[in-house]
Chains A and B, each alone.
Chain A
Amino acid sequence: MEDGFKQPQRQSSIGVLLMFVNTLQQWGRALWPIALVYVFKIDELNKAYLFTGITFFLIVIGIIAYLKYLNFTFYLDDENKEFVINEGILNKTKTIIQLNKIQQVNINQSLIQRFIGVYELDVDTAGSSKKEGRIKAISHPSALSLKASLLENEKVEADSEKLEMALRSETAEERPFMEISFLSLLKVGITSNYVKSLGLIVAFVATVFENSKNFINQYDFDDEKIDAYLDKTRIIQSVAIIAFLLISAILIINLIRVVFRYFDYKITRQNGSLLLSFGLMSTKSTIIKPEKVQIVTITRNFFQKKMNILELKIKQATSGEKEERKSVIEIPGCNETESVEILKLLFLKAPEKGIMLKPNYRKLVFSIFLSIVLPLTAYFTFAKYIEPRFWDYAYLAPLYVFFVGSIVFFGFKNNRLFINDDFIIKQSGAWDVDNMIIEPGKIQAITTSQLFWHKSADIGSITIHTAGGNIAFQLGDYSKIKQYVNLWLFELETSNSNWM
């Protein structure tokens, strides 16, 4: 291993065994139903055939494993400063990773690998969740030396980071920069997550009802008596009571949830980062590094606007563990001025909405078609031709049209893209209005898209990809969108802005 991995090389030769086990596992997973059939028929089968079959199967897997081993090579290209992995028997893939893009190199050992005495080496770069390079069988000394050579470039950077950390801990600020009061949490509790809590209640009632039905059946309740009891005048009353109970239950559940989760929410400033801590029973804490923030979403609905509260959701790019990647950091119930303060810390200045792009009216027409015309047509056709009893519920149709129609309409009305020099803000949502804020510097890639019959109308869509997710805006003024894409590309390509 003294040549520093400059020549293409294979894995540890014992790794063939690992390949064999892995291939066997893969095939076994795919073929177990067939195997099961044979297990049941084992008595009827000719044992000689069975054993030849199994032997043949194992030999085939052995050959595949050996070919896999032969075709898997990796090396360090010193000249181009890249790490190259070749793999595949029939379909060949060559993965090339630039050394200075490598974020982490992990050495692991699974149970089988421990038996064989080899290690697995994973190479991870920023952003995407899957491991970019994986060597499955490598001896411990060469794993260590490979890791060292892979991370050689990194060393300088890591050292400087350590220094930074040391500096940081010296100047840590203890005084919380912002606290969310109990009153704000109460406000959040009564104004958000109605649908979520309703779902919880429905699930709860359904289980209770299911269980109690079994219970009641034992006592022989008379269905007719119950029907008589529920005469017309009482129905209206009881509906009102149930509605009232339901609403109060939703509010109470919301309140309890919010208070439990976010009690004593504190935000502390620590050199450039924000330190959050919250929770009633167990205190959770997270750290936000402004340079890693990709998307910030501000959510507020009509009630919250009246009460002057809003919710912030922050998505960061991390190269850490998987759960960490998925997590969205939430800051509930801050008021306007507080949110501006936080945004200033994250973005260095308060985001402003610039030029506004509206979606074309066709988006509204299409949503109406999809969510109103189509379901209603299906319903009426079904009622007319298949099940006439469905007509009994026809009076619900106008209600549905009104309810869904208003959601669609407000969703369309709120769908906007705001662009200025430093921010791109996408507004969307019917009741809870979201404002997703990104900086053009955080863009990873841009997709523009146009249906061929929209060419003459000059409308089209854009998807902005960042390391924290995508922002999509449909059916806007395509010329304008293209113009901004050109501008963003120009800005991205002329500066070396750091996206994390």
Chain B
Amino acid sequence: MENFTNEIIDTTQLPRFEEVEFSVLHSNYWKVTLINAFFFFLILAVGLGALLFFNQGLLVFLMEILVIYSVLLIAVLLLSRIGFKKKGFAFRTHDVLYRYGIIATNTIVIPYNRVQHVALHEGFVSRFFGLAKIEVFTAGGSSSDIQIPGIEMEQAENIKQLLMGKIQKEL
């Protein structure tokens, strides 16, 4: 108790979360996104093709359908590219930060001592590229959970280990 001090905190000197250098997602994750989009549009195209084949009357709208399809394709590719570029994560000593968003830049911060549990998720396509998604859960419901995709499996395991270690220490 003798060593107890209670200094005034200079709030301007606190570490700033907004100046943190974010690590970007692995470049292979962009390929994963592209492949997933490709499959989605392939299935869509097959579906549309089947629809037109069995419903020849719709062929008059072929032009419109093609235009809508390509606009959708371009929009999805563009937005995923922006989304991919914007996504970033950072692990500080006491908290994890995740940045995302397309028109808005959102940054979510979870202190390690509020983490409830962690999950590693490997998608089918991601696994071919050796990538995984880390999911960090808090007690604040789904809006305060974060999912960081596009992390190398080995690194993801390390991060998980780090998180679990931190959670334990905080208690």
Residues of A within 8 A of B (CB): 80-82, 88, 90-98, 100-101, 125-129, 132, 317, 443-452, 463, 465-467, 469-470, 482-483, 485-487, 489-490, 492-493, 496, 499-500
Tell me if B118 is interfacial: C-beta within 8 Å of chain A: yes
Please determine whether A98 and B117 come into contact, CB atoms closer than 8 angstroms: yes
Contact B107 A448 (CB under 8 A): yes
Q: When chains A and B are docked, how far (Å) is the Cα of A317 from the Cα of B110? A: 18
- Give B1-31 as 1s and 0s: 1 = Cβ < 8 Å from A's Cβ atoms: 0000000010110111110000000000000
- Is B105 an interface residue when CB atoms closer than 8 A count as contact? yes
- A101 → B minimal CB distance (Å): 6
**B122 touching A447, Cβ below 8 Å:** no
Q: A96-B164, A128-B116, A447-B106 in contact; A465/B9 too (CB < 8 A)? A: no
* A493→B116 contact, CB < 8 A: no
Contact of A128 with B141 at beta-carbon distance under 8 Å, contacts A93-B120, A94-B119, A98-B164 already known: yes
Interface residue B56 (Cβ < 8 Å from any Cβ of A) = no
Decide if A499 touches B108 in the complex (CB within 8 Å).
Answer: no
- Smallest Cβ-Cβ distance to B144: which chain A residue: A465
B109 touching A489, Cβ below 8 Å: yes
> Which 7 pairs across A and B sit closest by C-beta, in order of nearness?
A127-B139, A465-B144, A444-B140, A465-B140, A493-B94, A445-B144, A90-B124
Asked whether B103 is an interface residue with its Cβ less than 8 Å from the other chain, the reply is: yes
A463 to B146, CA, bound (A): 14
Select which of B106, B120, B139 is within 8 A of A444 by beta carbon. Answer: B139
Docked-complex contact B17 and A482, CB < 8 angstroms? yes
Beyond A445-B114, A447-B108, 12 extra complex contacts between A and B, CB < 8 Å: A80-B164, A80-B168, A88-B122, A92-B121, A93-B122, A465-B140, A487-B9, A489-B17, A489-B95, A490-B9, A490-B15, A493-B113
Q: How far apart are B53's CB and chain A's nearest CB, in angstroms?
A: 19
Are B141 and A465 in contact, CB atoms less than 8 angstroms apart?
yes
- Checking B109, B120, B146, B167 against A98 with a beta-carbon cut-off of 8 angstroms, the contacting residue is B167
B47 within 8 A of A: no
Residues of chain A with a CB closer than 8 A to B110's CB: 444-445
B137 at the interface (CB under 8 A from A): yes
Q: A451-B104, A490-B14, A493-B94 are in contact. Are A127 and B164 (CB under 8 A)?
A: no
Contact B15 A486 (CB under 8 A): yes
- B121 to A127, Cβ gap below 8 A? no
Are A465 and B137 in touch, CB under 8 angstroms? Answer: no
Q: Does B127 contact A (CB under 8 A)?
A: yes
- Roughly how many angstroms separate A90 CA and B114 CA in the complex, as a whole number? 31
Known: A444-B144, A493-B95. A132 touches B106 (CB 8 A): no
Residues of A within 8 Å of B33, CB to CB, are: none
Least CB distance, A320 to chain B, in whole angstroms: 14
The residue that B139 contacts in the complex, of A82, A96, A97, A126, with Cβ under 8 A, is A126
**Nearest Cβ on chain A to B148's Cβ, whole angstroms:** 14
